Structure 1
Amino acid sequence: MGARSLLAVLNGERQAVPPVWFMRQAGRYLPEYRALRAEKGGFLELVYDNDAAAEITLQPIRRFGFDGAILFSDILIVPHAMGQTLTFTPGEGPQLAPPLVEARLEDLHAAPQHLAAVYGTVRKVAAALPGETAFLGFAGAPWTVATYMVAGEGSRDQAAARLMAYREPARFAALIDAVAGVTVDYLAGQVAAGVHAVQLFDSWAGSLAPDEFDRWVIAPTRAIVERLKARCPGVPVIGFPKGAGGNLARYARETRVDAVGLDETVDPAWADEALPEGLPVQGNLDPLLLLAGGDALAGAVRRIRRALGRRPHVFNLGHGIDKETPIAHVEAALAAIRSPL
């Protein structure tokens, strides 16, 4: 297993025992993370502290031996670098100011030092990571990042961004293009600093109608993939369009990502039939099954592995690990994932 294994799968090699990492594996369910956060302060302070962020990235690797490490950061680093103020308020989530429903993108003052701070973390992790472990960087996809930039915060239905896209499509397209441009630079910077592969998180892809999905999810993702591959040949790109549903197969074909992440609502057997033959997939255990544990967890692991066993498969969750997840359940899941079927 290890870095060669995970990267081989992302490059199209099927393996009997899938490599594994979990979204949000570096985070609040770990006592060592909670201790460091109590010592250092708020979330954003951790992200921009190279020593702390590198330590958090490495914590789940030391404890569990995951085959991939995921950079400890946040998708809103890009709007922060584009000039919006970013704060994390306990109990309220992230806030971006000024929201673009009230301000113009052109009036923001870029702050590229926020990207440079993350590159420092990447370099520290790359120097300390075990040689057998792959290192994954990431960014938010333009649609999801834009929803936060427009509203200034997260929302259930992304109505502010969707309305702007309908009412002012040229203005919204300019925002999407700007986010895509910074994202390419950001991901290329992560690669230069030491990551082996990258993931694009489109957490709110499921809120769009089909035509809007094509315009604001597929098209900008394809543009990022093309531009990144021109700058960083051979670096795999994982696309994760959460909630894409029936749009997933079209996303896989048209974006030209190297692997597709499946959220927990996707039937893996359907995905195996619908997705392009040989395309690597990642996922898709329900994070609540990891929280529940027991026979339900073990059975789900087996079902997912069997359903996706004919193609290259990176085992993962369908979304981020829940902060209440017991350590013993993670250990049990890893044992089931790494056991022969």
Structure 2
Amino acid sequence: MTSLFLQALSGETTSRPPVWFMRQAGRYLPEYRALRAEAPDFISFCLNPEMAAEATLQPMRRFGFDAAIVFADILLIPGALGQKVWFEAGEGPRMGLMPSVESMAERAASAGDELRPVGRTLSLVREALSEDRALIGFAGAPWTVASYMLDGGHDTIGKGERAVARTYVYKDPVGVDALLDVLVEATAHYLKMQADSGAQALKIFESWAEGLPDDLFERLVVRPHQKLVARVRELGVTVPLIGFPRGSAAHAVRYARDVDVNGMALDTACPLGVGREVQKIKPIQGALDPLLLRAGGEALDRRVDQLMEAWGHGPWIFNLGHGILPDVPITHVEQVLKRIGAQ
């Protein structure tokens, strides 16, 4: 039995839009908070297959989403390449100084092996899911991961401006491009391992695509994504890929046209008309505002209806424009699922 999610991602118009939410396994669920309390730290949690599998499955049991996304983090790759990564409670990621590009290049092809626990998580989840529920693997995109790595050791990390990283882009273009190439190779092997372990689709999270001028969007987003997709395919991966260049609605049609992903995720700020233009090129995913999901009420119903009217002819996967927030009421998630006919 093929899942609605995979049908939509293949370009079909489904009877209703399939639905899953970014960060659907997370702090808004009491069962997640209880599970997380058992792990010594966040990285250990991500790399414990039994715990990560349980976190992945919790929202599937509660809501019956059409797809599960493996519980992991985009900053596992730097750790596999030798950079220290940890999470401070209430503050987010912290990183040590970045190793040399040369030393990381030597480790790039083994990134999948280094992160084999994520593959075990995927295998456990796939065994537990019914056939009509899809399983998604993911990785951070090269520029987004590079921006954290370059900010490592500086007090700007986590503040959202990527000021240190973007300054490096201008001051040391050769070095940054070399880092991106290393990350393309490492990420390709990581994604291949996930596909081999049961992932039926793979998502590329470009969380820091916003605010880039045309030339940097081409250099930091489009070209590395093109290289990554090509490398993943060279490694024999055939499952569909979803690109998510968050905050880049002005470049959305260009990205959809120039990057050979199977589907494109749209963020909260993407106009409905732009989404329709992208939908003419390939399947889309998105883009309910997580803050509106938090607010609930009639405004939430109205926006769901607007999205259904604009994009419901498909192919479209209903999702948020970014991750679900920790204080979202569970009843609001149920409200959306009922509104689109998924419950």
Q: Same fold (TM over 0.5)?
A: yes
- Asked if residue 53 in structure 1 is aligned to residue 52 in structure 2, the reply is yes
User: Which ranges in structure 1 are unaligned for 5 or more consecutive residues?
Assistant: none
d(CA) in 1 for partners of 2:40, 2:334: 29
Whether 1:248 aligns to 2:247 is no
TM-score (norm 2): 0.93
Q: Mean Cα displacement is larger for which, 274-283 or 316-325?
A: 274-283
Aligned-partner SS, 1:8: helix
Instruction: String of CA shifts for 1:68-115, please: whole Å, max 9, x gaps.
Output: 0000000001111011011111122111211x4xx5223458484541
Give CA deviations for 1:202-246 in whole Å, capped at 9, x if unaligned: 000013111010011000101111222333454110100000121
Distance 1:230 1:129 in 2: 29
Q: 1:138 Cα deviation (Å)?
A: 0.3
Q: Which residue in the other structure is 1:105 paired with?
A: 101
Cα distance change of structure 1 residues 69 and 339 upon mapping to structure 2, 3 Å threshold: closer
Residues 1:335 and 2:338 are matched in the alignment: yes
1:7-156 equivalences in 2 (<5 Å): 7-98=6-97, 100=98, 104-107=100-103, 110=107, 112=111, 114-152=114-152, 153-156=157-160
Question: Could you tell me which amino acid in structure 2 is paired with residue 258 of structure 1?
Answer: N
Give 3-state SS (helix, strand or coil) of 2:159's partner: coil
The answer to whether the 8 A contact 1:54-1:122 is kept is yes
Superposed displacement of residue 270, structure 1? 2.8
- Aligned residue for 1:235? 239
Root-mean-square deviation (Å): 1.7
Is contact 1:278-1:311 (8 Å) kept?
Answer: no
Deviation (angstroms), 1:124: 1.1
State how far apart, in whole Å, the 1-side matches of 2:93 and 2:75 are.
Answer: 8
Q: CA deviation at 1:311?
A: 2.8
* Counterparts of 2:296 and 2:63, CA distance in 1: 17
**Aligned partners of 1:16 and 1:309 also within 8 Å:** no
Do the aligned partners of 2:122 and 2:197 also contact (CA within 8 Å) in 1? Answer: yes
- Rounded Cα–Cα distance in structure 1 between residues aligned with 2:25 and 2:214: 34
Contact 1:259 1:280 (C-alpha < 8 Å) held by counterparts: yes
Q: Which moved more, 1:104-113 or 1:69-78?
A: 104-113
Given that 2:240 and 2:262 are in contact with CA atoms closer than 8 Å, whether structure 1 keeps it comes out as yes
The amino acid across from 2:249 in the alignment is: G
Change beyond 3 A, Cα 1:160–1:43: same
Letter in 2 for 1:78: I
Given that 2:20 and 2:319 are in contact with CA atoms closer than 8 Å, whether structure 1 keeps it comes out as yes
Give me the identity figure in percent.
44
Superposition misfits of 4+ residues, deviation over 6 angstroms:
none
2:292 is the alignment partner of 1:296: no
1:11-34 CA distances to partner (integer Å, 9 max, x unpaired)?
A: 100124100000000010000000
Between the two proteins, the alignment pairs up a number of residues equal to 335
Report the Cα offset of residue 125 of structure 1: 1.0
The one-letter amino acid of 1:94's match is P
Taking the aligned partners of 2:191 and 2:103, their CA distance within structure 1 comes to 25
- Tell me the secondary structure at the aligned position of residue 43 of structure 2: helix
Deviation at 1:155, TM superposition (A): 3.2
Q: Which amino acid aligns with 2:86?
A: T
Question: Aligned-pair distance for 1:278?
Answer: 4.7
SS across alignment from 1:122 = helix
| Letter in structure 2 aligned against 1:124 | L
CA separation in 2, counterparts of 1:292 and 1:52?
30
* Per-residue deviation, 1:306: 0.9
Output the CA distance in 1 between the equivalents of 2:310 and 2:266: 13
CA distance in 2, matches of 1:232, 1:334: 36
Runs of 5+ consecutive residues of structure 2 not aligned to the other structure: none
> What residue identity is the alignment partner of 2:70?
L
Q: Judge conservation of contact 1:71–1:137 (CA < 8 Å) in 2.
A: yes
Contact 1:147 1:154 in 2 (8 A): no
Once residues 80 and 89 of structure 2 are traced to their aligned partners in structure 1, the CA distance between those partners, rounded to angstroms, is 22
- Say if 1:284 and 1:316, in contact at 8 Å, map to a contact too: yes
The answer as to 2:164 corresponding to 1:160 is yes
C-alpha distance after superposition, 1:232-282 (max 9, x if no partner): 45411010000012111111110111111110101123320x326251000
Report the TM-score, using the length of structure 1 for normalisation. 0.94
Amino acid in structure 2 at the alignment position of 1:149: M
Q: Which residue of 2 aligns with 1:277?
A: 280
1:192 matched to which residue of 2?
196
Q: Which residue type is aligned with residue 270 of structure 1?
A: V
